[in-house]
Amino acid sequence: MTDRLGELSSAGVAIWLDDLSRTRLTSGGLEKLRQEKHVAGVTTNPTIFAKALSDANEYNWQLRDLAVRGVEVEEAVRMLTTYDVRWACDVMRPSYDKSGGIDGRVSIEVDPRLAHETEKTVAEAKALWWLVDRPNLFIKIPATEAGLPAITATLAEGISVNVTLIFGLDRYSQVMEAFLAGLEQAKANGHDLSKIGSVASFFVSRVDSEVDKRLEKIGSDEAKALRGKAAIANAQLAYERYSEVFSSKRWQALADAGAQPQRPLWASTSTKNPDFRDVIYVEQLIAPGTVNTMPESVIKAYADHGETQADTITGAYDAARKAFSDLEAVGVDLTDVIAVLEREGVEKFEASWLELLDGVRKSLESAAQGVGTPGRVAQGNAKAA
């Protein structure tokens, strides 16, 4: 039986799971994916947590205790989410140790309402780092204009960072600059660079969704022929920039001090258009030193019928540039596309965060009225110790 996910890993792509829930932890599902499906990391976001807390009653015992203590809703959210992430970090610790700290990482995001406030983002990142207290944690910080200096400042504190919501090439270059500056400051501050990790989460399918909507509106045959071309070309050109930065003398000086490169992480890799192959954003983005974070449905699809080539990126730069040129020629303003996606990305996570707060608020109110299962407290505490 072909181990397609094993082939993908051997091609240099780290397979991460884009999901986390208390159910996945209590059932042993995450551990099974790590052992059987080559899953080497976990990413979370406010949308994932909002769904997890709305779907499961495994949180009832903890919600009851938080309600008894009179904890405010925002602090309750921190307690619930950091509990899950800490537990996930422990599940993934063997992958972290085996890879020398490269993989086995679990990400938790700062409050997305702080996306445009640098100092508060840094303070929140530090608080989450303290709360989870695991070396294989990543703090997710959005690549907004205010997020860039926050990335540098957080790395300078010796805290590992997953930079999220990257859509465009110019912003990606700024993210890599923020990373290099952060490591240089961390070195000056006396931190061990070999302990600091980072990935840059470059979003994929959302680019096609926005561009293809515009191509449909243009309506010409030339425009329609370009559907499904933008996202992969965008990511391929991002890898070209990554290759340039991490072969520079500036980077080599950091590498000589023990630093590991900030790997490109392909995010939003589930196919939104049913006309596209369901694993297209995996198959077409294979290259050494990358991460692809996928929902479990995509992991299963790739295990079933994914086709792995040694490298589907580095030989495609000219074709990717032509795709960009063709899109501009039919009237797609790619600069505007990226601006819209960044704005909407932050807004969507803000909406999910508010949904999460509202759900926890209602759960705390119910728990305070005596609804809950306190008998599960000991079990839960033992699991995440």
**Active centre residues (catalytic):** 140
The Cβ of residue 70 has, within 10 Å, a number of other Cβ atoms equal to: 8
Whole-angstrom distance, CA of residue 93 vs CA of residue 134: 9
Amino acid at site 330: V
Whole-angstrom distance, CA of residue 330 vs CA of residue 333: 9
* Number of residues that make up the chain: 385
- Residue 274 has phi, psi (to 5 degrees) of -65, -15
Give the CA distances from residue 194 to residues 125, 162, 258, 259, in Å, rounded to whole numbers and listed in that order: 20, 16, 5, 5
Collapse the DSSP code of 111 into the 3-class scheme (helix H, G, I; strand E, B; otherwise coil) and give the result: coil
Q: Which residues contact 131 (CB under 8 A, 6 or more apart)?
A: 78, 82, 86
The Cβ of residue 97 has, within 10 Å, a number of other Cβ atoms equal to: 13
The Cβ of residue 66 has, within 10 Å, a number of other Cβ atoms equal to: 23
DSSP-derived letter for residue 157 is T
Q: Is 208 exposed, middle or buried (0-12, 13-18, 19+ CB in 10 A)?
A: buried
